[in-house]
Amino acid sequence: MNQPNKSFPVSWDQFHRDSRALAWRLTGEGPFHAIVAIARGGLVPATIIARELNIRMIESVSVKSYDHQTQGEVQVLKAINPDLIAADASGRKLLIIDDLVDTGATARAVRNMLPNAHFATVYAKPQGRDTVDSFITEVSQDTWIYFPWDLDFTYAPPITGGTD
């Protein structure tokens, strides 16, 4: 797997705006019975979307994607409540939320658990884009997204290397 050579730092303000934009996009898809947030990255947008769409039932699923040497393998650390799996099977409309779909490995694993749910992410990369139903912003596969919870205040050099 190639290392990302572009970076896309996302501020708290931008992430909040993008999550709200996703909520607007989802208004025509609901109403939803519940949200299933993919922990950890999906927890923040799920909270924003739950508020905007007035969804009170929020569940999480915790999965760990392995490193580039075993790309695509996913370990479930916390499964989805069986009642919500049954609700999905019976036709209740569920919403899966994550911050980003990259290669689609995590998305495919969670979609297998809830095959009828609507899957939405804030950001999508080309390799995983077909695994989600809705997203707001597409970024290139070779871009590394720095989410606000990954950042600290620090000097950022100019893109072209100049120093002013």
Which residue ranges form the domains of the chain, and what is each CATH number?
Answer: 6-150 (3.40.50.2020)
Minimum mean pLDDT range among 1-10, 12-21, 28-37, 66-75:
66-75
99 assigned to active site = yes
The answer to whether residue 164 is catalytic is no
pLDDT at site 161: 65
Catalytic residue among 83, 99, 130, 152: 99
Bridge partners (DSSP) listed for residue 60: 37
Buried b (16+ CB within 10 A) or exposed e, 68-88: eeeeeebeeeeebeeebbebb
Q: How far separated are the first and last CA of the chain, in Å rounded?
A: 35
| Region 70-86 average pLDDT | 84
The average pLDDT across 27-36 equals 94
Of 18, 83, 88, 102, the catalytic one is 102
SS3 57: coil
> Is-catalytic flag, 142?
no
In the set 18, 67, 88, 98, the catalytic residue is 98
93-144 pLDDT, tens digit each: 999 999 999 999 999 999 999 999 999 999 999 999 999 999 999 999 999 9
